[in-house]
């Protein structure tokens, strides 16, 4: 069987992480089983759909590296087919025209309206199947339609019995038909509705596995009814647990803002593979029996496939390890702290990004750093040419303590530009607290100017000799130098910094009187 899955976002805003995770799981599954991963834009809600949103979705997928197969489908292009299909159902007696005038309902309190209406109906003993047009004679219905009377088309759901299916994640699902209303397929203005469109498009696209958010779980029964009505094969369903906000509330674009937007992660310096890795662990986990920690089972050695305890999975490894039956059912909390810049998003995501930055191959990292420097106007063409070796060395040196790609242009700025800030706290702690440094640092500069060749080891030797002669601790000069050269109190081993900066810049910055002029 040719396995075909799809990611079907509605373009009503930016791509949020829940949707991105759905896309990822579909993609992982497709790649794992050698199937096709398709993209369909569900833009049937014309009022809310925008081109910018479509662009942001495509950009997001591209950034994550989730390439879709075949041509993307716009659901709105199929509206005419969907209308025809609904009409056919009326002809076959599987659906009926509902001439009830359309109710106006305010979008804001739909939930409340539903509850109120349900209560009222229960009190009056009205079954939601008691639509007067459900059993209207076909001839009469045709006549009224021909006369131009507006109508919606509803599916005629069986009175007795129940619908059941097996969800790959949530297991056996059953729902009595009496709980399923005669759903509207076509609005009275002829507009096809979601449940009709998804089913028809999924049939046409040959979708075999529907992998999507748990919010669609109960509606699946309605959709299965439609598959039956159209005489089509019902696909397999796998519903994904929802991703919640820290207080276990629904993660919403409106309330939680940019932290849930995928583009935020790109713009704030995430490495795509790191974010993919993090996202994959939200609602899925690998089979730990393949970890060496539990390598022996039934006296049989199991393949030592993974480092003990690791959660770092390359894209390739993710594909190898992924399986739908290890997706779990309970919702995951996306743990971020709104007003804390250090923890603006989930700690684990941040840690994982840092882990990728400090361990990934330099030939993959360097281009990302290049993009970042370009964006901040710190890039020089020499870094691609004569100084390419130097550039990669700097990246390797400073990446060790960075969390995001942004850090290369902010904390790493002094390596690429003379225009960098001195941090006040660093200056006070490492320089101003020892007045003699005003005289001593230029002397140190003179001394280092003589070092030949200008290597870490030679600079270290010279500096230590100078410290001894001036009867100061080496640490005083080391820490002061760090602040003079980088503006900061923290950073890589100082002698490596000297070597990387080179004689000219090191000496010039040591002679600078900026700390005394600026503070």
Partner RNA sequence: GGCGCAUUGGUGUAGUUGGUUAACACGCUGCCCUCUCAAGGCAGAGAUCACGGGUUCGAGUCCCGUAUGCGCUACCA
Q: Which of residues 57-116 bind RNA (CB under 7 A)?
A: 75, 98, 100-103, 105, 107, 110-111, 114-115
Position 491 contacts RNA (CB under 7 A) = yes
Strand order in the sheet with 73-74: 4-7, 36-41, 73-74
Position 335 contacts RNA (CB under 7 A) = yes
3 state SS of 296: strand
The total of other beta-carbon atoms located within 10 Å of residue 67's CB is 11
For residues 220 and 234, is the Cβ–Cβ distance under 8 A?
no
Position 159 contacts RNA (CB under 7 A) = no
The DSSP annotation for 4-38 comes to: EEEE----SSSPBHHHHHHHHHHHHHHHHHT-EEE
Stretch that binds RNA, among 40-48, 254-262, 384-392, 436-444 (CB under 7 A): 40-48
Position 290 contacts RNA (CB under 7 A) = no
Query: What residues contact 451, with CB distance under 8 A and at least 6 apart?
Result: 458, 459, 462, 503
Q: Which residues of 235-251 are buried (b: 16+ CB within 10 A; e: fewer)?
A: bbbbbbbbbbbeeeeeb
The DSSP annotation for 183-238 comes to: -EEE-TTSPBPHHHHHHHHHHHTT--EEEEEGGGTTTHHHHHHHHHHTTPPP-EEE
3-state secondary structure 254-280: HHHHHHHEHHHHHHCCCCHHHHHHHHH
**Is 253 a known active-site residue?**
yes
Position 317 contacts RNA (CB under 7 A) = no
**Chosen residue from 423, 474, 511, 514 binding RNA by CB under 7 A:** 474
d(CA 444, CA 440): 6
209 bridge partner residues: 236
**Chosen residue from 54, 58, 232, 333 binding RNA by CB under 7 A:** 333
Peptide bond into 108 cis (omega under 30): no
Looking at the Cβ atoms of 35 and 280, the one nearer to RNA is 280
Position 358 contacts RNA (CB under 7 A) = yes
**Chosen residue from 67, 250, 436, 438 binding RNA by CB under 7 A:** 250
**Chosen residue from 84, 126, 158, 249 binding RNA by CB under 7 A:** 249
Q: Which of residues 209-238 bind RNA (CB under 7 A)?
A: 214-219
The minimum distance between CB 54 and RNA, in angstroms, equals 13
Position 311 contacts RNA (CB under 7 A) = yes
Position 163 contacts RNA (CB under 7 A) = no
Position 513 contacts RNA (CB under 7 A) = no
The minimum distance between CB 145 and RNA, in angstroms, equals 13
Stretch that binds RNA, among 135-143, 192-200, 368-376, 435-443 (CB under 7 A): 192-200
d(CA 287, CA 325): 10
Q: Which of residues 117-156 bind RNA (CB under 7 A)?
A: 117-119, 122, 128, 151-152
**Chosen residue from 45, 69, 396, 449 binding RNA by CB under 7 A:** 45
The minimum distance between CB 489 and RNA, in angstroms, equals 5
The minimum distance between CB 377 and RNA, in angstroms, equals 26
**Chosen residue from 170, 356, 379, 391 binding RNA by CB under 7 A:** 170
Position 188 contacts RNA (CB under 7 A) = yes
Query: What residues contact 193, with CB distance under 8 A and at least 6 apart?
Result: 44, 183, 184, 185, 186, 187
Catalytic one of 102, 138, 250, 253 = 253
> What Rg do the C-alpha atoms of the chain give, in angstroms?
32
H or E element at residue 176: strand 171-176
The minimum distance between CB 382 and RNA, in angstroms, equals 27
The minimum distance between CB 381 and RNA, in angstroms, equals 30
327 bridge partner residues: 284
Looking at the Cβ atoms of 431 and 494, the one nearer to RNA is 494
**Chosen residue from 50, 289, 314, 388 binding RNA by CB under 7 A:** 289
d(CA 479, CA 466): 15
Position 42 contacts RNA (CB under 7 A) = yes
Looking at the Cβ atoms of 229 and 379, the one nearer to RNA is 229
Strands 296-297 and 300-301: antiparallel
The minimum distance between CB 143 and RNA, in angstroms, equals 18
Binding mask 379-418 for RNA (x = CB under 7 A): ---------------------xx-----------------
**Chosen residue from 492, 503, 508, 514 binding RNA by CB under 7 A:** 492
Q: What Cα–Cα distance (Å) separates residue 360 from each residue in 138, 199, 395?
A: 68, 42, 12
> How many residues bind RNA, per CB under 7 A?
94
C-alpha 39: how far from its chain's center? 16
List the catalytic residues: 253
């Amino acid at each position: 069987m040719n396995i075909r899955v799809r990611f079907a976002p509605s373009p009503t805003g930016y791509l949020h992480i829940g949707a991105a995770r759905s896309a990822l799981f579909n993609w992982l599954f497709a790649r794992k089983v050698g199937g096709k991963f398709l993209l369909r834009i569900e833009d049937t809600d014309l009022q809310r759909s925008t081109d910018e949103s479509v662009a942001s979705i495509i950009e997001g997928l591209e950034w994550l590296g989730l390439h879709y197969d075949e041509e993307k489908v716009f659901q709105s292009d199929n509206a005419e087919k969907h209308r025809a299909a609904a009409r056919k159902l009326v002809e076959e007696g599987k659906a009926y025209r509902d001439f009830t005038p359309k109710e106006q309902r305010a979008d804001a309190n739909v939930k409340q309206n539903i509850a109120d209406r349900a209560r009222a109906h229960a009190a009056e003993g009205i079954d939601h199947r008691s639509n007067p047009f459900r059993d209207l004679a076909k001839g009469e219905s045709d006549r009224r339609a021909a006369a131009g009377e507006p109508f919606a088309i509803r599916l005629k759901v069986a009175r007795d019995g129940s619908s059941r299916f097996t969800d790959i994640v949530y297991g056996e699902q059953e729902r009595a038909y009496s709980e399923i209303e005669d759903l509207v397929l076509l609005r009275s203005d002829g507009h096809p509705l979601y449940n009709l469109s998804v089913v028809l498009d999924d049939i046409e696209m040959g979708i075999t596995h529907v992998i999507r958010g748990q919010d669609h779980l109960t509606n699946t029964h309605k959709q299965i009814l439609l598959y039956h009505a159209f005489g089509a094969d019902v696909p397999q369903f796998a519903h994904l647990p929802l991703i919640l906000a820290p207080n276990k509330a629904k993660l919403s674009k409106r309330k939680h803002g940019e932290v849930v937007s995928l583009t935020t992660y790109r713009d704030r310096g995430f490495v795509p593979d790191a974010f993919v890795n993090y996202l994959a662990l939200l609602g899925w986990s690998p089979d730990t029996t393949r970890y060496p920690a539990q390598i022996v089972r039934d006296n049989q050695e199991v393949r030592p496939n993974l480092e003990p305890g690791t959660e770092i999975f390359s894209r390739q490894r993710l594909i190898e390890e992924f399986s739908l039956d290890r997706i779990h059912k309970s919702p995951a909390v996306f743990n971020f702290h709104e007003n804390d810049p250090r923890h603006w998003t989930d700690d684990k995501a941040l840690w994982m990004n840092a882990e990728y930055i400090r361990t990934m191959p330099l030939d993959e990292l360097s281009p990302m750093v290049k993009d970042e420097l370009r964006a901040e106007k710190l890039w020089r063409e020499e870094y691609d040419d004569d100084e390419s070796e130097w550039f990669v060395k700097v990246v390797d040196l400073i990446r060790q303590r960075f969390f995001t790609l942004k850090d290369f242009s902010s904390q790493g700025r002094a390596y690429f530009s003379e225009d960098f800030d001195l941090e006040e706290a660093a200056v006070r702690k490492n320089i101003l607290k020892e007045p003699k440094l005003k005289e001593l640092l230029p002397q140190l500069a003179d001394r280092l100017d003589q070092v030949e060749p200008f290597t870490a080891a030679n600079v270290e030797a010279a500096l230590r000799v100078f410290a001894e002669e001036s009867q100061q601790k080496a640490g005083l000069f080391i820490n002061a130098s760090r602040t003079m050269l980088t503006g900061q109190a923290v950073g890589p081993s100082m002698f490596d910094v000297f070597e990387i900066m080179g004689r000219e810049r090191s000496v010039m910055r040591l002679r600078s009187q900026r700390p005394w002029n600026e503070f």
